[in-house]
């Protein structure tokens, strides 16, 4: 969440931590490369690494009516989930909050485990996850 300050630059970034249990791990860079156009035949080619420092992802904040003040736009976690976890793989969120990562994982056919100390945030997450699972069974 950007800071409302006027006497310095605002902080507009998030940290991602990729933690694995082994030295050999899954990472699919091609699945998240930014598409570029070939000048020769105007068709998409492999693309460029979207993680380059000069190419930060531009993801807007979104308003949220939940009583959780540190929630984030699910687009923020989209690329790390796709690149860092295969379909039907497992994502662990040690600070689950209102369940944004869990929802993003489920929408991308990944499993998740979450931990949260706040009973209030856990209830918010459970409601969101339940609503998503009900949608999946209906359609």
CATH assignment of the domain containing 74: 3.40.50.150
Q: Is 93 left (phi over 0), alpha (psi -120 to 50) or beta?
A: beta
Q: Is 63 in the same domain as 52?
A: no
Per-residue pLDDT of the chain (139 residues; tens, 9 = 90+): 567 788 988 776 667 777 888 899 999 988 887 666 555 555 555 665 555 544 556 666 666 666 655 666 777 788 889 989 999 999 999 989 889 899 999 999 999 999 999 999 999 999 999 999 888 666 6
Q: What is the domain range of residue 120? A: 59-138
- For residue 1, the model assigns a pLDDT of 58
Residues 6+ apart with CB under 8 A from 67: 120, 124
Residues 6+ apart with CB under 8 A from 71: 64, 97, 98, 100
Among residues 5, 39, 56, the one where a domain terminates is 56
Domain count across the chain: 2
Q: Is 34 in the same domain as 68?
A: no
pTM of the entire structure? Answer: 0.71
- The structure tokens listed for 129 are 């996850």
What is the maximum alpha-carbon separation in the chain? Answer: 57
Q: Is 122 in the same domain as 78?
A: yes
């Amino acid at each position: 969440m950007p800071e409302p300050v006027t006497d310095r630059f605002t902080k507009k970034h998030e940290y991602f931590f990729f933690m694995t249990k082994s030295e050999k791990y899954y990472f699919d860079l091609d699945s998240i490369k930014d598409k570029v156009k070939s000048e020769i035949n105007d068709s998409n080619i492999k693309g460029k690494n979207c993680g380059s420092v000069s190419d930060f992802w531009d993801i807007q904040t979104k308003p949220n009516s939940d009583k959780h003040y540190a929630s984030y736009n699910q687009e923020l976690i989209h690329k790390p989930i796709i690149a860092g976890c295969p379909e039907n793989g497992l994502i662990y969120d040690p600070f689950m909050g209102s369940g944004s990562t869990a929802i993003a994982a489920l929408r991308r056919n990944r499993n998740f485990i979450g931990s949260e100390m706040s009973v209030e945030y856990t209830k918010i997450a459970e409601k969101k996850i339940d609503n998503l699972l009900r949608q999946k069974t209906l359609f």
